[in-house]
Structure 1
Amino acid sequence: MSKDNFVESTETLKKTVPLMIKHKVPTTPTNYALWYTYATQQYPELNLAIDKHIDAVGHCTPTMCEQLYQEHLASQTDKDMTQLKQSLTAMMQELSHSMTDTLSETETFQGALDNTFAKLESAEKEGLSITDTMVLVRELIKESSQIRLSTGSLKNQLTNAQDEIMALREALSESQKAANEDAVTKLLNRRAFERDILGYQRNNIPYSLIILDIDKFKNFNDTYGHLLGDQVLKIVANRLNAFCQDNAQAYRFGGEEFIIILPGKMLASARHQAETLRRSIEKISVLDKKSGQRINSVTASFGVAERQVKESYEEVIERADSYLNKAKQLGRNRVLPLN
């Protein structure tokens, strides 16, 4: 490096660190690279995106820093690896759900075979006298026994395969923790939420939270299968993305639960937006390709809370979650508090 370049780099670094301190940006390698580039003003689009986000939200959230880094600075190899991890995780989840549904169907089929087998054995014990009929019955019993053994073997094979898939899925999950995106819904994940909400807390920026939970989702999974359950999660996530305006951000909080940060919104406004979202979700219609049945029973319950002065984000979540639980107790598919 030449002396001039060294002096220029030093001057840029002197600008970078105060900028990160001013906006309370976490000191990670990617953030250093992002804000160093911002200080050099080499990429006007990057500077414009950062300035626009800060003007709208009051600070640059960790998730936004990472997104901007990926969009403007990350190499194609970095992007390809991130996409590969997400695709593999999604594939493993889909395979695991397929295996779970197949195991369930196999158990049902084996139960039906056991029942038929018992009836045939009972008929034999009643002493049917026609020799040819008895020969046929014995053949049916023999074939049924073979089918039952074959089904049991298949069940064992599926169980072993599912164990292998689960192990691979857990390994991929560990690598996915370094990312911000949920593999199934493509929403930001809980890790991203916790990083972003801490930014609002540190900068004392007012916000409200909406927590929603898909009603009776376990029963839905048990009835129609996990693949259709994943489809519902994706559709709900799409509704949340379409709903998020004015810098609102949606996250998959865990399972069938989602959370939305609404910067600068008071309780009345947040509640009104939650009601709009509730009505949108209850209009969801999903086709079960196995049975040809159309399911129109997708609903969600909501809890809303506005952050009070000096309140931790955990307390805000606890209050919103309390309203969510009350909404479920009162019959589900509703928003609380009422006003």
Structure 2
Amino acid sequence: MAEQRIPPTPNNFAVWFHYFVGDHDDLRHAVDLLIDHNRPFDNRTNQDLFETYIAPDADVVALETSERLHALMGTAKEFLATAIADNHSQMQAISNVADQSQAGVDPRALVAQLMNELARAATRATQLEAGFAEKTRELDVIRDSLSKSEERARTDTLTGLANRRALDEFLRKAQATAEWGEPLSVLMLDIDHFKTFNDNFGHGVGDQVLRLMAKVLRDKVRKHDLPARYGGEELIAVMPDADLGACADIAERIRRSIAECTITRRSTGEVLPNITVSIGVAQYRTDEAIADLIERCDRALYLAKGGGRNRVVTENELDRAWAAG
């Protein structure tokens, strides 16, 4: 942590403890990738790592939900036991009326007694029905809470895009499909000179810009693609059923759209300098590890930055750059 200049906060300690003991493969891979590419462990990256791979809130929600379900099931058992007891009581009462009818008791008294028992049974049934309806509504609340908790656990809080956890899950599924011959491509974009922009205008404005980049990415990719926040100011899109050329075309539309954006500082109305992005594009190769695909895309991104920024570079240019180099 000292070598990477990471502040010794409890959340950061939790991340690096699990990294050190090696009990979380996805976390280890993510940190190793950041280190290998000399990425800074700034506050935003550290928070992303914690929220994506440690995420204690999910455990808290799970515990609270478990306790609520336990109490709900206990109440449901009580309702059922009451219903069974009431049924036995009602059957016994009706049986008693039947016995009295055979003994020659006044029919009017028997009818009154029978109507009274049926009215009591109807009242109990109505009360039980109301109780079950209430518990059904509570179940709906619990289901909604679990759904929202799951969504939060898979969403980056700043940009609203998928986070690393959701990205890794989507990539694994997309890889399985790609092994059957379907194309799979990814694009990765990084905001040019973002550190300088943050230094000049502050992290609040930087966050505003990052949210704008995320919106452009979300709007330009297809419905079945996954736009996600990869880390820091890097965003990524996974594109099933898209070859390298199709992915590069979408990447170019994203680049142009961002370059044409006019960004206004909310607090003052000041028009800020134009923002540009560099984008790398790569296509999955059969039987390769997903990490190799991402690494190749990342190298294409940095070739775009080294080539002057504000451009799209595909993995094909990596081979040409290597041959020329």
Q: TM-score, normalised by structure 2?
A: 0.50
- The two structures have a TM-score, normalised by structure 1, of 0.48
Q: Which has the larger radius of gyration?
A: 2
